[in-house]
Amino acid sequence: MNRLLVALVLTAAAAAAAAGPHKSTGTLADQGTQYQDAPVDSPGTITATARPADLLKTLDTTAAGGEQILFGDLHVHSTVSWDAFVFSLPVFGGTGAHPPAEACDFARYCSSLDFFALTDHAETLTPRQWRESKQTLRQCSAVGRSSRNEDDSDLITFTGFEWTQAGTTAENHYGHRNVIFRDQDEAHLPRRAISPMPPYFDPDLPVLKTMHEPRVGSYVAMMQELSKVPVCAPNVNSKSLPENCFEVALTPQELSRKLDEWGYDALVIPHGTAWGLSNPPSADWAHELTPGIANDPRQSLVEVYSGHGNSEEYRSWREYVVGPDGKKQCPQPTRDYLPMCWQAGHLIRVRCDAAHLPSQECERREVEARQRELDAPVGFAAAGFLAVPGARTEEWLDAGECRDCFLPTWHHNPLGSVQYILALGQDRDGQDPLRFRFGMIGSTDNHNAMPGEGYKEVARWNSILLLRLNNSDAKRMFLPPPAERTPESRPVTPDLYSSSWATWDVERTNSMSITGGLVAVHAANRSRDAIWNALKSRDVYATSGERMLLWMNLVNGPGSAQPMGSAVRMNRNPEFEVKAVGAFVQNPGCPDFQRRLLGARKLETLCHNECFNPSNRRRQITRIEVVRIHPQHNPSEPVRPLIEDPWKTLKCAPNEAGCTVRFSDPEFLKRGRDTLYYVRAIQEPSPAINGGQLRCKFDSAGRCTQVNLCSGDPARTSPADNCLEAIEERAWSSPIFVDIQQQ
């Protein structure tokens, strides 16, 4: 993580240099205390007008039993987060501060959510910022309160932070987790966020001397404030520590211990489990199958989908294999996967042949290039592409990407996929098996204070006149590669990595940035208690952003029907019923009341003049796909045969009222092993930002021969181009876990 902080600032400097000369007022020494005295961003001001009660009634989805389906976003960053702040800088095409208060306004007026959580990064969250964020979220809920009951609000807010520990190997890597607390009052919230590492920032970083925009000054001032907060004493009960110190938990076990010390009701939600952006290639969730992590009762949900892609699907291919000598080896390409290392060798071979060098020498260089790509240092993002000097992004085709996944994450890692995690297991004599039993949620991971950004597929970029960023996490930034294009590869040293034009493949990540997902809860009412109870019981589902309605019940289990998220024991074959209803087609623009509440200018700057604005027509559900997974008995059991995707596909007749299907598992008792079931409800195709991602052209053998990237370079892709491609939006139910009941 420390390397990423430095690399992003260095990258920003490179982008500034590439953009040409800018006005400078001298060196840091010349400016004296310019940065020291720069203002630190405030939490902002909330618009103090609730949504009309009759509007909330139109948003409610009430089932026959009085249950409602409510939609939220449990993964949102403001520019209090260091990375969101960096990308708000002018050199990244940023548009300034997007504080916590703006997230409140966006969720209430633009995306019309029922609830959301603010989860700024703990590693740069000072006690002051944490205190202000808590107060802002309390004020946000209070605006919509119609009585003295603090849970009676048009928008329920939850306080949280993101704990992210990015290691270099499977053994020292634990990834991303959002920690979210149930209550809002100060008596039930910790006095500090808990960071995965001590604060890090070098305020004298030489590159900052070349950057004098006021926004950069605010960033440095924020980091200087952070550097003055002492690290809390270790091995002291969290409740006994002073407020103004920086609390650190280096592992999930330590994080869990500290949450135990606070004693407040909380959820710990992993996300980005399959990301190549921040997981080392060797990352494997199997190493987290340990007591204290797998069976932590707070860890009952996993984020399967966000604006960074879909982490659901398992595949058998690997980025590399380990040979008998313990060294990484480059695997052969397959129909559904082209390894980065293989493409590195191919690019060098093409150059070498073009230079008319001897075939034997070209073969040696080809093999060497593959190994150099594999041996690139593991930072916070894949750096192996730097092994091929001057290679254009398009030359890499779809190397390293999941070719047949639905909107996969960049450099998708199958050993972090949700299907793989759910298949992991270890039987234990006299104890319950050790397993992950996750419910599935979607969220956005938006870094511009825009909860629920995926309500419309608009504004991939936005005009600078609107002073707003975009409805995806793509960056208005492009970094041309160096002109050097030699017929031989180069070692990717740490120095090359940190001083390169880009620390990751920016053009490709722009093409794969999509609008985010949502979490839906089956709640008894709109209260905080009802929403929290649904989250804790896993009676939730994920969507790719569309507000589809989904129910899944085990209909012949013990007692009454068991909803999604349930865990039961049975001595008969299970039977299920699923109902799914498509999302409302959106009308253009915003409802009239929005303009009355916000005014024309704020509606433009906050919502892009495009709000959640449902019509009376719903999209159709085309099919229900059922996934069946049999968790391992022990870690040596191969995973691939345990994941059946899809196990069943149930077609739906065209009907705006939705689709209801039933299915059973006649093999459950015969197999005699614990099994989990979840469904995907698939909606009719509709256009989506970056729905085609790399937009490959394939040959008759299924190989990608050309890509058409959605670039951050306005000369290559117009800022007005939303890069819309038709996709099948979907909803993922939480699994129902059916254990075999021994006779």
φ/ψ of 496, rounded to 5, equals -65, -40
What pLDDT, on the 0 to 100 scale, is given for residue 614?
95
* 203 confidence band (pLDDT: 50, 70, 90): low
Instruction: Convert the pLDDT of each residue in 475-534 to its tens digit.
Output: 544 455 556 789 999 998 877 766 554 555 777 888 888 999 999 999 999 999 999 999
| One domain, residues 591 and 719 | yes
Domain identity same for 447 and 557:
no
Highest-confidence range of 79-93, 208-222, 268-282, 500-514, by mean pLDDT?
268-282
- How many distinct helices (H) and strands (E) make up the chain? 17, 32
Helix (H) or strand (E) holding 581: strand 575-581
- Same domain? For 123 and 234 the reply is yes
Position with higher pLDDT, 550 vs 151: 550
Same domain membership, residue 284 and residue 137: yes
Question: So what's the pLDDT on residue 623?
Answer: 98
Tokens of 629: 């997974």
Question: What value does the mean pLDDT of the chain take?
Answer: 86
304-308, 616-620, 664-668, 715-719: lowest mean pLDDT where? 715-719
DSSP string covering 128-181:
HHHHHHHHHHHHHHHHT--SS-TT--SSEEEEEEEEEE--SSTTT--EEEEEEE
CB burial of 185-211 (b: ≥16 within 10 Å; e: otherwise) equals: eeeebbbbbbbbbebbbeeebebbbeb
User: How does residue 624 score in pLDDT terms, banded at 50, 70 and 90?
Assistant: very high
pLDDT at 717: 79
Closest CA to 697 of 689, 688, 707, 685: 707
**For the stretch 119-145, what's the b/e string if a residue is b when 16 or more beta carbons lie within 10 angstroms of its beta carbon?**
bbbbbbbbbebbbbbbebbbbbbebbe
pLDDT of 380 above 70: no
Closest CA to 93 of 499, 455, 461: 461
731 shares its domain with 619? yes
Residue 506 lies in a domain: no
pLDDT at 468 > cutoff 70: no
Q: Which two tokens stand for residue 156?
A: 């329920």
In a domain, 385, yes or no: no
Instruction: Say which range, 12-21, 277-286, 586-595, 682-691, has the weakest mean pLDDT.
Output: 12-21
Q: Assess contact for 317 and 336: CB atoms under 8 A.
A: yes
Residue 417 lies in a domain: no
pLDDT band of 209, cuts 50, 70, 90 = low
Q: pLDDT-derived band of residue 572, with 50, 70 and 90 as boundaries? A: very high
Show the domain range for 261.
Answer: 42-315+439-463+513-518
In a domain, 181, yes or no: yes
Which range scores top for mean pLDDT: 389-393, 436-440, 556-560, 602-606? 436-440
Measured between alpha carbons, how far is residue 491 from residues 85, 342, 481 in Å? 32, 16, 16
**Whether residue 17 has pLDDT greater than 70:** no
Tell me the pLDDT band of 470, cut-offs 50, 70 and 90.
very low
Q: Whole-angstrom Cα distance, residue 178 to residue 441? A: 12
Q: SS3 of 438, please? A: coil
Contact 669, 459 (CB under 8 A): no
Give the mean model confidence (pLDDT) for residues 78-94: 82
Share of the chain above pLDDT 90, in %: 64
Please say if the pLDDT value at position 613 is more than 80: yes
Confidence category of residue 596, pLDDT binned at 50, 70, 90: confident
Consecutive H or E run containing 364: helix 359-374
- Number of residues written out for the chain: 743
How far is CA 687 from its chain centroid? 21
Domain boundary among 478, 498, 518: 518
Residues paired with residue 568 on neighbouring β-strands, in sequence order: 738
Phi, psi of 643 (to 5 degrees): -110, 115
Q: Two tokens at 412?
A: 């998708």
**pLDDT bucket at 560, cuts 50 / 70 / 90:** confident
Asked whether residue 681 is domain-assigned, the answer is yes
| Higher local confidence (pLDDT), 235 or 470 | 235
pLDDT of residue 497: 64
Structural domain contains residue 402: no
Nearest to 162 by CA among 179, 144, 145: 179
Ranges 277-286, 355-364, 714-723: which has the least confidence: 714-723
Band of residue 12 on the pLDDT scale cut at 50, 70, 90: very low
What tens digit of pLDDT does each residue of 409-428 get? Answer: 999 999 999 999 999 999 99
720 domain-assigned: yes
448 and 575 fall within a common domain: no
Does residue 729 share a domain with residue 631? Answer: yes
In a domain, residue 381? The reply is no
Residue 535 has pLDDT above 90, yes or no: yes
Instruction: Give yes or no: residues 444 and 580 share one domain.
Output: no
Residue 664 has pLDDT above 60, yes or no: yes
Residue 21: the pLDDT is: 35
Band (552; pLDDT cuts 50, 70, 90): very high
Does residue 235 surpass a pLDDT of 60?
A: yes
What is the C-alpha radius of gyration for the chain, rounded to an integer number of angstroms?
A: 25
CA-CA distance, 53 to 50, in Å (whole number)? 8
Q: 269 has which bridge partners?
A: 178
How many structural domains is the chain composed of? 2
**pTM of the complete model:** 0.93
User: Could you tell me if 556 and 703 lie in one domain?
Assistant: yes
